[in-house]
Structure 1
Amino acid sequence: MSQAGTAAVDRTLSALADPHRRRVVELLAERPRPAGELARELALSPPAMSRHLKTLRASGLVEESHPEFDARVRIYALRPEPMVHLLRWLEESERLWSEQLAAFKLHVEGGP
């Protein structure tokens, strides 16, 4: 994986390390939502929700938009790109571990 890809995975994993942010991602997987709705759903204060959303935006996991009817409202939606990098990394890790375990099994069983 390239350095850029590795950095993207690091940002994604760092953002997802917090259970509140993982819950936000789960909610946004259902549909885009306003920040206030996310805060109510997670029983967080608006400032706390704002900090979590800032981290998720910085990681690239979510994007914000403003509806035409009210520029004060912020709607958050998931972005798929960071998860694509994470899935690629997980697939590579799985392949590596599968190869290592197969080699270990062969060794333990007395194979060539």
Structure 2
Amino acid sequence: MRTIKFKPPSTGDGPHLLLGAGAVAAGAGLVLALTHAGSPLRGPLTLFFLLAAPGSAFAAALRGLDPGARFLVSGAGAVCVVVLVAQTMLATHHWSADGGVVAVGALTAAAFLLQLALRKGRHKLR
């Protein structure tokens, strides 16, 4: 007769759950900002999206750094992206909150797609 053993819960799932929760919160911030919802969470979650989206793109590009430096550099890069988007929109007299959120999201998506294309190109060369 065979004994059925249950696998103990993995202790390495914590960071993955935290990343998933952050992605859900950022997505909720994007949706709340673009739908002009009257929720009190609209401001904090939108700010979280504006910092987490470009920050995660920088962090994905900087895989070679240790975690502390990666966090610091990606956070600084995220702030720079948001400030540059705001300054560009103000300088061209096209400022809008929706436009800023969309512009940051588009730049983040472009950065992720560029990284994906570069990684596929490196794999083809090997």
What's the TM-score, normalizing by structure 2?
0.34
Q: Which has the higher strand share?
A: 1
Q: Which has the higher helix share?
A: 2
Structure ranking higher on relative contact order (CA contacts 8 Å, 6+ apart): 1
